[in-house]
Homo-oligomer: A and B are copies of this chain.
Amino acid sequence: MRLQIFKIGGNVIDSPVVLNAFLDTFCSCRERKILVHGGGKLAGELAGELGVPVHMHQGRRITDAPTLRIAVMVYAGWINKSLVAALSARGCRAVGLSGADGCSVITRKRDPEPLDFGFVGDITQSSVDVLFTERLMEDGLVPVFSPITCDPSGQLLNTNADTIASALSMAFKTKYAVSLRYVFDKEGVCCPGSDEPLPLLSRAQYEKLCGEGVVTGGMIPKIENALKALSMGIEEVYIGKTCIQL
């Protein structure tokens, strides 16, 4: 049986037109499916309004206590429930989750050395408990994961959504032929000076583009996760806009 795991980020979430088109396509997918979402502009805007400074390092947010509260409110609250309600209105019975729910994704707070990322959760080999998520899908429900997890002590942690999507793919690959789809508003990964996406991207090409400073920011964890997922036996990984045509 096939399982489609979709990841969307700010590029999709922040545009009502792109988001609605994505949700329509997502609902038209009749296979088992999971949606993983990241953030968007709202967390940064809210941080600005509340006077909480935003710190980034290689596309990953540094999460102090006030930033964690904002992340949980915006990601697991506003964005997650807005997506679930929008899916519900389309006849898709979705269940919005953080990793704490059903203990579905339990992470480890990242080591503060060499750089303290704050309240950030790292996925481990045993992070994903497939049983709860699997049971939801068996019942015809669609899990919608926000990028919030917790550690065994109950500490909520901000967690990269691309990594959650990748970890879910790997956890389910023994049961399903998994397709992992990183959906965003670009056609794919392009070479400098070109709007044409690369039809295929190898690790060697990626490392070259990274070294040249072409691949930067939030694309680094996305491609790292994609390559890792492929090396671990995921059937196929898409990065781009067109992957929403199923």
Contact = CB atoms under 8 A, between A and B. Distances in A.
Contacts of A74: 73, 77
B102 A154 contact: no
A135 interface: yes
A148 B78 CA distance: 11
A69 to B, nearest CB: 6
Interface in A147-176: 148, 150, 152-156
Given A102-B93, A132-B141, A139-B135, A154 B88 contact: yes
Chain A interface main SS type:
helix
A80 to B, nearest CB: 8
A204 interface: no
A36 to B, nearest CB: 16
A160 B156 CA distance: 26
A32 interface: no
Contacts of A80: 76-77
Contacts of A17: none
B98 A96 contact: yes
A158 to B, nearest CB: 12
A68 to B, nearest CB: 9
Contacts of A242: none
Interface of A: 49-50, 69, 72-78, 80-82, 84-90, 93-98, 100-103, 106, 132, 135, 139, 141, 148, 150, 152-156
26 contacts: A49-B49, A72-B77, A72-B78, A72-B81, A72-B82, A73-B74, A73-B77, A73-B78, A77-B80, A81-B98, A81-B100, A81-B101, A81-B150, A84-B98, A84-B100, A84-B150, A85-B155, A88-B103, A88-B150, A89-B152, A89-B153, A90-B154, A93-B102, A93-B103, A94-B102, A96-B101
